[in-house]
Amino acid sequence: MLRNKKILLGVTGGIAAYKIPQLIRDFKKSGADVKVVMTEAAAEFVTPLTISTLSQNEVVVGGFPKFSGTVLKAETWHINLALWADVMLIAPATANTIAKLVHGYADNAVTTLALAMRGPIIISPSMDVDMLNHRLTQSNISFLEQLGYKILQPEKGELASGLTGAGRLPDLRKILFAVEELLQSGKKDLTGRKILVTAGPTYEPIDPVRFIGNRSSGKMGFAIATAAAQRGANVILITGKTNLVTPKNVQRINIVTAEEMFNAVTKHAGNSKVIIMAAAVADYTPAKVSKQKIKKSDNTKEHLNIQLKPTIDILKKIGEKKGNKILVGFAVETENEIRNAKIKVQQKNLDFIVLNNPLKEDAGFDVDTNIATIVTKSNKIVKLKKMSKFQLANQILDRIAGSFNSFKK
């Protein structure tokens, strides 16, 4: 499967680096060409001589490419390598390198190549259990996943420190399969499909300084947009306020209020074959927005009453003219979840709805995982296990891609 594939391997300074020579042999046996860049710390664990002997290629160590003692003539060695590679694998990826990747550092050959790569990048974090479980490392890993890097989850077991827990480099066969899978799949099953995704909260102004909002972080919608673009779709992402980075190859439209979201969705819905409403749209908005800041002294009574009026249910409106579009909604429910989700699927004329309960741990707002149930228009109920929002995004897109295929048949 890997015959003639060009693998760029980035090795960083973790103890699991001692396994990399064997991985290189396995890649070579599968017919791949392997070039290696490594950090100076990695070279403390495994020698460049071993690596270059097994890869049958020269190795770049640290920041500057010194092959056989001479500095390479081409200044763009990093670009040449990045253009050469079909895929880059960083294994083991230390907490330090992962943190650098999050911030776009280019201070050694591994981080530089990760920035210069056009093709996909797989990261295999490997470190001690406590470093891995640290909230910073976890948040860095999920940030990279959101950006579209493929993350190979470390395995649990005995660690070099003597501790037991997650952090081990996965079995080498698993790494090989993951590279194979990514190269094969580079799943482009949504190529040319126009997909509209909404994300994040809406903010409804009360006066020039205050608003009514909700706790949506936008992570789910951004994960869908990232995954859809990776699979070849033309993605428009209409989003409320978030701090998230625009995914690669995605057209982003920023909105603030439910009304702005309605207008933006209406404008782009006509051209979209698929609409996925992951945004948490406000159901009510202040009936009157005060032009001036509301002062405490303006209120003679004990309570300040703000009159609210309903917003337009965007998804319902789109559902009324569904045609042959695929419509997907999200439902947040804290009780009678399935029953309420079934009602929403029918009322909004959806193909399916993704239901979650924010009261469950590891689900809902601002976390990187979700525990969702899919309810379809034919009342099929699919309970999904806990997974990252990115994995859930791909599950949702699998269903959509599947229905394209069944239409073809």
Which residues are marked as active site? 214
> Whole-number minimum distance, CB 267 to ligand CTP, in Å?
15
Closer CB to ligand CTP, 330 or 390, in the complex: 330
Return the number of the residue (42 or 281) whose C-beta is nearest ligand CTP: 281
Closest CB 341 distance from ligand CTP, rounded Å: 8
Least distance from C-beta 275 to ligand CTP, angstroms?
A: 9
In b/e form, how buried is each residue of 208-221, taking b as 16+ CB within 10 angstroms?
A: eebbbbbebbbbbb
Q: Which is nearer to ligand CTP, 148 or 358 (CB)?
A: 358
Rg (the chain; Cα; Å): 25
273 vs 344, beta carbon nearer ligand CTP: 344
Answer yes or no whether residue 313 interacts with ligand CTP by CB under 6 A: yes
Among residues 11, 277, 372, 400, which is the contact residue for ligand CTP, using CB under 6 A? Answer: 277
Q: How far is the CB of 269 from ligand CTP (least distance, A)?
A: 11
Q: What is the DSSP string of 235-271?
A: EEEEE-S--PPPPTTEEEEE--SHHHHHHHHHHHHTT
CA dist list (Å): 341 to 84, 122, 338, 344, 402: 49, 36, 5, 5, 22
CA-to-CA dists, residue 285 to 206, 306, 358, angstroms: 8, 10, 22
Count interface residues toward ligand CTP (CB under 6 A). Answer: 14
Q: Candidates 19-27, 107-115, 181-189, 310-318: pick the segment binding ligand CTP (CB under 6 A).
A: 310-318
Write the DSSP string, 76-128.
THHHHHHHH-SEEEEEEEPHHHHHHHHTT--SSHHHHHHHH--S-EEEEE---
Which one among 315, 326, 345, 374 touches ligand CTP, defined by CB under 6 A?
A: 315
Burial class (CB in 10 A: 0-12, 13-18, 19+), 395: middle
Our measurement of the distance from residue 121's CA atom to the centroid of its chain's CA atoms, rounded to an integer in Å, reads: 13
By C-beta, is 81 or 277 nearer to ligand CTP? 277
* Given 127, 279, 345, 372, the residue binding ligand CTP (CB under 6 A): 279
- List all residues 6 or more positions away from 73 whose beta carbon is below 8 Å from its beta carbon: none
Q: Work out whether 222 is an interface residue with ligand CTP (CB under 6 A).
A: no
The helices-and-strands tally (H runs, E runs) of the chain is 14, 24
| Amino acid at residue number 300 | T
Between 19 and 219, whose beta carbon lies closer to ligand CTP?
Answer: 219
Q: Which residues contact 397 (CB under 8 A, 6 or more apart)?
A: 190, 224, 227, 228, 231
- If one asks whether residue 274 binds ligand CTP (CB under 6 A), the answer comes out as no
Q: Where are the beta strands (DSSP E) in 126-199?
A: 150-151, 155-158, 164-168, 194-199
* Pairing relationship of beta strands 33-38 and 6-11 according to DSSP bridges: parallel
Closest distance to ligand CTP from the beta carbon of 313 (Å): 4
Instruction: Give the DSSP H or E segment for 276.
Output: strand 274-277
At closest approach, how far in Å is the CB of 222 from ligand CTP?
14
In the complex, minimum distance from the CB of residue 196 to ligand CTP, in angstroms, rounded to a whole number: 12
Tell me the closest approach of the beta carbon of residue 342 to ligand CTP, in angstroms.
13
Task: List the one residue from 112, 230, 311, 356 that touches ligand CTP (CB under 6 A).
Answer: 311
Binding ligand CTP (rule: CB under 6 A), the pick from 15, 82, 258, 264 is 258
Nearer to ligand CTP, 80 or 266 (CB): 266
Cβ–Cβ < 8 Å for 203, 256: yes
Provide the 10 A C-beta neighbour count for residue 40: 13
Q: Does 281 bind ligand CTP (CB under 6 A)?
A: yes
Show the site string, 329-358: x = touches ligand CTP by CB under 6 A, - = not: xxxx-----------x--------------
Helical (H) or strand (E) element with 405: helix 389-408
- Does residue 201 touch ligand CTP according to CB under 6 A? no
Span of 50-58, 96-104, 126-134, 277-285 interacting with ligand CTP by CB under 6 A:
277-285
At 266, which amino acid appears?
T
Give the residue with the Cβ less far from ligand CTP, 340 or 403. 340
Kindly list the distances between the CA atom of residue 230 and the CA atoms of 120, 189, 234, 248, in Å, as whole numbers in the listed order.
10, 10, 10, 8
For ligand CTP, the binding residues (CB under 6 A) are: 258, 277, 279, 281, 283, 311, 313-315, 329-332, 344
